[in-house]
Amino acid sequence: MRSVPLGREPGDLELKDFDALTGRPLVVVGNGPSSAMPRYDALPADAVVFRVNWFFLESHYHVGRHVDAWFSAVPHARLETMLADEVRSGRYTLDRLVTPVRVASHRDTDKGGNPFLGLGLTELDSWSVTARHPRLARHFMSRPGLPTTGLQALAFGLGVGFREIYLAGIDLYESSTARYGYTVPEAVEKSLAGKDLAPGYEDAHGLGTDLAFLRACLVEFPDAHVTNLGASETLGLYLPGPTTITDRPSLATHPTPHLGEPKARAVVTLPAVPSADGDALGPVEVREPLDGRLYAEVDGRRCAYVTVVSGDYHHGARALAGSLRRVTDVPLLALCTPDADTAALLASGIHTVDVPAIVNPVVAGAAPTTARRVQDRFAATYTKLHAFRLDFLDRVVFVDSDAVVRQNVDELFDGDDFAAVPDAGLRLPTGEEFNSGVFAATPSADLFARMMAALRTTASSDGGDQGFLNAFVDAWRPLPLEYNTTKRIFSHHSAVYQDEDVKILHYVGPKPWQPAGPDGRYDELDREWLGYLTPGELQDLVASLRRAPVARAGTKGARQAAEPALRTAQRLAREGRWEAVEPTLCEAWSTRPPTPGELRELGYALRRLGRNRDALHAFRRAWALAPTNASIAREVRSARVHALARPGRSTAGQVGA
């Protein structure tokens, strides 16, 4: 519970905070069935709005998006976190938290932080105002028997000085079929007890308690005019009902942003498509953005930048969006898998589209040992294929969320073909394959359906989406290297890298938002990436890094964890059990990335088994992790010769974790 500082009288802070608002009407909105679409003609347009508890579960903005104060009387970490996400995402604007309990960071039992950190909300104590009025305070001195939250909000409003008050959605639980004016989603049901879901009062409250408290409020503030807009017949015995407002603007006559609008209106529904594992993929609903901008017109065509976000890649998408805002007004759409932090993206003004992950076909339906052979970074990259599904757009430019756009590249929206940059990194581009981190394409439902049908039968040379797309796409137009310059060009081909020419910088490999090892070659590029984040986004990044596990790649603990697997692989090799080396290492890589030494040991074993192409692949991966290691470089050259002379049996794209 909160307490009042010893140097201040109870309620002084609250009265001062509301002093400038009490000359306006107040509407206290409970969560009863009548909270849905109240009498707008009876509500003044300039009313201050109080909401309570789980109000944000409503399907429509029944009294608009702005909330002056939110009330709750019990500690509930899940409730607080979800409310904070609603505010952070921009679905609601909120000024004050008014509650007698402290947030989770002040509660020992919750072991959580403050979910409202950085939102700029004022925290007030609702009971400190009631404490100034003994007649009302007496009702808080017994349990069970507390007034319900809506009536506590009424008492607070009266106590700080409001005298024209409207009650909506305070139905005294009279309905025998519904408790709330919204449907409680399954995810929230798990956070509530049965008493919070069934119609009627719960044990901690009661009709008699609420009526006694209401009468005490009316006696304590005889100059107040309180109107009942709800459906409670009992409340109608004590309060006058609504009348149409004719002497001033009402919510019915005065335009109020988003009033009565659905919170998540679907503007496009993409039909379901069979997936690689035989199940239906979709349908996908594209919701209306909060700013109304789903795309921009470029030369008369509907265009958008598109990216995919999963896991911690919301940090990357935020930097990508920040870079785009500097050079173009074409919006960014983020295709989000279920594990993406959509609240963080929405807080950054990025419109999100929830999509199911498209599982790497090597993983789908495969045995666990086979699934582990797919590199972790390729496990979900096929999800970017959803970009080809967005046929409500005439043209899309896809950019991986680990890239930033340095210059205007809206010219990529020209044409109707598939355009991409030849793949480059450790070696300069040859034009044989394109890099799928940036591409321009014309979406088509038919094209997407054909892609899904081909997933199982189209081999990927690298085990990921890039290999698949290179095999699937019939023809592609090469773009200059500047449209997708990987950071490895910066380090390995400095003669080619001209900083001021780079239009899109692609942070392949270790990400600038993840803990870095001792290698500082990309520090200046990483510092530039940080510059695209806002101060609030930087704070979120620091907070996430501080919560990350202590043992990371490159630390002593990580090396100690890696040593047993390497020693085991080396022992198996000495015993001539070459076929057991790969499963042993893959088992270790299911929980962490491989080390260069382990990949080199895998290469030795694969070469002994006659799988020379796979051995070359393993040595190349080791070299990518340790490009200055001369010994590994020699193994790459030797393996290249063996692969050309005796390629042997290969399962390229499926080797390693």
Q: Which domains does the chain have, with CATH numbers?
A: 12-237 (3.90.1480.10), 266-546 (3.90.550.10), 556-645 (1.25.40.10)
Half-sphere exposure (Cβ direction) of 533: Cα atoms closer than 13 Å: 23
Distance CA 355, CA 336 (A): 6
For every residue of 47-107, DSSP letters joined together read -EEEEETTGGG-SB-BTBSEESEEE--S--HHHHHHHHHHHHTTS-EE-EEE-SS--GGG-
State which residues of the chain have pLDDT below 50.
366-375, 551-562, 649-657
> What's the pLDDT tens digit per position in 130-142?
999 999 999 988 7
The pLDDT assigned to 648 comes to 57
Residue 35 DSSP class? G
The pLDDT assigned to 111 comes to 61
Task: Please choose, from the candidates 262, 503, 537, the residue with its C-alpha nearest in 3D space to the C-alpha of residue 405.
Answer: 503
The pLDDT assigned to 317 comes to 98
CB 128 within 8 A of CB 4: yes
Distance CA 307, CA 314 (A): 10
> What's the pLDDT tens digit per position in 574-611?
878 888 888 888 878 877 788 989 999 999 999 888 88
Distance CA 553, CA 647 (A): 33
The pLDDT assigned to 376 comes to 52
- The amino acid at residue 542 is V
Residue 239 DSSP class? S
CB 584 within 8 A of CB 572: yes
Cis omega before residue 240 (within 30°)? no
The pLDDT assigned to 425 comes to 66
Q: Which helix (H) or strand (E) holds 129?
A: helix 126-130
The pLDDT assigned to 517 comes to 65
Angle, alpha carbons 489-492-497 (nearest 5°):
40
Cis omega before residue 283 (within 30°)? yes
Half-sphere exposure (Cβ direction) of 648: Cα atoms closer than 13 Å: 19
